[in-house]
Amino acid sequence: ELLGPVANPNWVSQELEFIHKSCSTVGYRPNVFSTTLSHLIATNSSHLIFPFVSIRERLKEKAEEFFGCEYELFVEFTGLISWSRGASIGWHSDDNRSYLKQREFAAVCYLNSHGKDFKGGLFNFQDGDPATIAPVVGDVVMYTADTRNIHSVDEITDGERITLTLWFSRDGSHDEDSKLISLLSQSLLNSLAKEPVSYLPLPASSNMYWFSLDQASQPPSGFDIRWARVHVLGYAFCSFDDKGDYSMSDLSNDPSELLMKPLQLAREDELFDKEFVNSLHALQVLQFYFWKATQLQATKVETATGNVVRLSESLREKINSLKSMLLNDHQLAETVFSHMSCDPFRQPTFDWADFSAAVAAWEDYTCKLHKEMLLSLSYWRSHQSIFSVPLLGIEKRT
């Protein structure tokens, strides 16, 4: 069944897209990428769970209402899933594996639109009404996970199709909330043990970011997702080690190690003079900038002038040698992460000062979410459930 838009689709979808484009890893099918909530916790970004809370709650209520449940539903899985060019799935039901039998219902919320953001990717019910659904941002499709709702998704032929996908169970032992709350509590304890408390992201192991069409090819052909995401926006990572201490032999050992370390961002022949703690930090800030660029341009509050230096020939070579290993198939990266939208919102007029302002705004945003998370977590723990706590004295994020 196709349901109309849920809560303010534009705001939620852009924020979730920002999260996905800065945090996703290789997914469960070819040309599919995913961001799970447990992955956000594992990469020291648990505060990014916060933007999911109210939409997740809404979708659960809608499912209970829509399927006329007389029992409580549990969210079994929550994930941001993107399908790139070449991805598709044939006729199937969502409980078609022995380990998926607990799945009762599915809710797929579209975070972008067919025709505008991607081509192909239509959703089909084998015998349903409507038989075919063209995804529109904010729309939600709900169906039972069993064989009454055999469905498929046509191959994506251009752009990137992004969804927020939830499965529900009536079996409390598959409740995602209690698992997440225990992970959150653990990660909170760990972070409180450190001073100062850090909300800077920490990359997962490099193989989770390695995309390749042929795992067996030697030398490995493909790309690092983080590098590819930065590349399609016109940027490159520049290893922070400006003394040139690392040798090429270190690089060929495991060049992706460098993406765990401090680095900078370069654009064309310029290097932005800001040290990020690692690739994930840089990627989050960059995606934040693209999400907020229009607002940043409109407000121009601070006259933050980012320090920009010209790239020297040797630095440029260094970038290129790293790039040749971590993005050795840049055409594939461009195909997989190309965005077809010609929406001017997507292509801000570039300005290093705006970018500088985005660095500060990202810190603000992150801090605020972090505080909200901490306040909510005690309620979540006592209810063993993740829900929006009406918090007094906290400004609304608008």
Ligand X SMILES: O=C(O)CCC(=O)C(=O)O
Q: Which positions touch ligand X (CB under 6 A)?
A: 89, 94, 108, 123, 151, 153, 163, 165
In this complex, which beta carbon is closest to ligand X, that of residue 109 or of residue 230?
A: 109
- Closer residue to ligand X, CB minimum distance, 123 or 289: 123
CB of 255 to ligand X, least distance (A): 33
Across the beta sheet with 263-267, the strand order is 235-239, 263-267, 270-276, 308-310
3-state secondary structure of 324: helix
Separation of alpha carbons 383 and 320, rounded Å? 52
- Least gap, CB of 96 to Fe ion (angstroms): 9
Instruction: Choose the contact partner of 15 out of Fe ion, ligand X, none; CB within 5 to 8 A by kind.
Output: none
Query: Taking the alpha carbons of 175, 180, 185, 186 in that order, is the dihedral positive or negative?
Result: positive
Residue in this structure with the two tokens 């990469």, named with its chain if needed: 43
Which of the 8 DSSP states describes residue 7? S
Choose the one of ligand X, Fe ion, none that binds residue 123, judging by a C-beta under 5 to 8 angstroms depending on kind: ligand X
**Residue 17 or 94 having the CB closest to Fe ion:** 94
Give the nearer residue to ligand X in terms of CB position, either 111 or 181.
111
| Amino acid identity at 177 | D
Q: Does 175 bind Fe ion (CB under 5 A)?
A: no
* One-character DSSP codes across 12-57: HHHHHHHHHHHH-EE-SSTTEEEEEHHHHHHTT-GGGGGGGHHHHH
Residues 119 to 158 in contact with Fe ion, rule: CB under 5 A:
none
Over the window 84 to 103, marking each residue x when it contacts Fe ion by CB under 5 A and - when it does not, the resulting string is ----------x---------
What type of residue is 321? S
Q: How far is the CB of 380 from ligand X (least distance, A)?
A: 27
Taking CB positions, which residue lies at the least distance from Fe ion?
Answer: 94
Nearest CB to ligand X, comparing residues 94 and 329: 94
Give the residue from 148, 165, 186 showing the smallest Cα distance to 111.
Answer: 165
Q: What's the min distance (Å) between Cβ of 86 and Fe ion?
A: 18
Report what 35 binds from Fe ion, ligand X, none; CB cut-off 5-8 Å by kind. none
Residue whose C-beta lies closest to ligand X: 123
Contact 137/12 with Cβ under 8 angstroms? Answer: no
Q: Minimum distance between the CB of residue 263 and ligand X, rounded to whole angstroms?
A: 34
Those residues with Cβ within 8 angstroms of residue 207's Cβ, 6 or more apart along the chain or in another chain: none
Distance CA 48, CA 51 (A): 6
Minimal distance, residue 348 CB to ligand X, in Å: 29
Of 43 and 93, the one with the shorter C-beta distance to Fe ion is 93
**Residue 229: CB minimum distance to ligand X, A:** 21
Residue 37 or 181 having the CB closest to ligand X = 37
Alpha-carbon separation of residue 105 from 57, 90, 145, 384 (angstroms): 15, 19, 5, 21
* Contact residues: Fe ion, CB under 5 A: 94
